[in-house]
Amino acid sequence: MDARQLGYFLAIVDHGGFGRAAEHLHIAQPSLSQTIAGLERELGVDLFHRVGRGAVLTDTGARIVEPARQVLRDLETVRETARSARGLRRGRVSLVTMPSPGIEPLTTLMTRFAAAHPLMTVSAESAFTPEEVVQAVRTGAAEVGLLGAAEHPRIADMRVLPVADQPLVLLSPPGDGPPPPAVVGRADLDGLRLVVSQPGSLMRRLVDDILAGGVEAHIAAEVGHRTSILPLVLSGLGHAVVPESWRPIAERLGARVRRIEPVSLLRVIVVCRAARLTPAAQAFLETVEDYVAEGARGRDS
């Protein structure tokens, strides 16, 4: 067994079949099939059920995914440690983030990290729920996860680092009238047209709670990609409930942003494995820790 075989195995898992994996790896599909057949012979088990042109993991194959990712991650740790020892300071941070934390604080964190480690690369994959973030980190698909939730999660096998609390705000289309009040109550959403994300997010939960309380707002659009929310609000389609982190870019583009009271907080949290991080991931975590410490000093001053 070698790292190439494991990498090919994971490529099939990640890309949903032999054909797409071969395209991603830039190799011929027969070569990929031969490599996996050799791996199966060495292990003495079938890793995939061949179904027509597709491939479905066997039970054994599914159990091998996480150990395989960790093996490749450990090999990368060896390589990056050697690079750091040679003074190259190269490496890649593999992280996964939910959309709102992916706006901020990720922008600040990546900017600071790049300034301190200009030869390193940050690869940020997307997830839409805290559970997806945790699962990606747990299985080794990413080393660092950035999530937003109503409460701090309790995850026994991971390190959990609270980063920031972001109040939810009301995002409104640009207007020519007098400036609106800086704060609105939940009842002030009465009569508004709303652009919302699909069920499951804290933003959507607040809207659903407001509607359940008797406020007569109308959901004008429900979007799967939260990146669609700001353009739709700017177009005048409706208003939206979003985290405070959206404020700077929204106001620069002309939208109006108001705090909603009583306050609901999106708690931004970083999660990672408790041990065996690559040097690049460890350096990124140090950037996160500095960011958190700076925020604490600002609150104390």
State the CATH architecture for 90-300: 3-Layer(aba) Sandwich (3.40)
pLDDT of the residue at 114: 92
3-state secondary structure of 19: helix
Which of 70-79, 80-89, 220-229: highest mean pLDDT? Answer: 220-229
The CATH classification of domain 3-65, taken from the options 1.10.150.570, 3.60.10.10, 1.20.1260.10, 1.10.10.10: 1.10.10.10
Q: What is the DSSP letter of 239?
A: B
Task: Pinpoint the residues of the chain covered by CATH 1.10.10.10.
Answer: 3-65
Q: Alpha-carbon distance 171 to 168, whole Å?
A: 10
Give me the residue label for tokens 């390193």: 120
pTM: 0.69
Question: In the predicted model, what is the mean pLDDT of the chain?
Answer: 88
Burial 236-246 (b: 16+ CB within 10 A, else e): ebbbbbbbbbb
- Which residues of the chain form CATH 3.40.190.290? 90-300
Distance CA 235, CA 231 (A): 6
The more confident residue out of 136 and 89 is: 136
pLDDT at 254 over 50: yes
Q: What integer is the mean pLDDT of 126-130? A: 89
Q: What is the mean pLDDT of residues 20-31?
A: 90
pLDDT for residue 278: 81
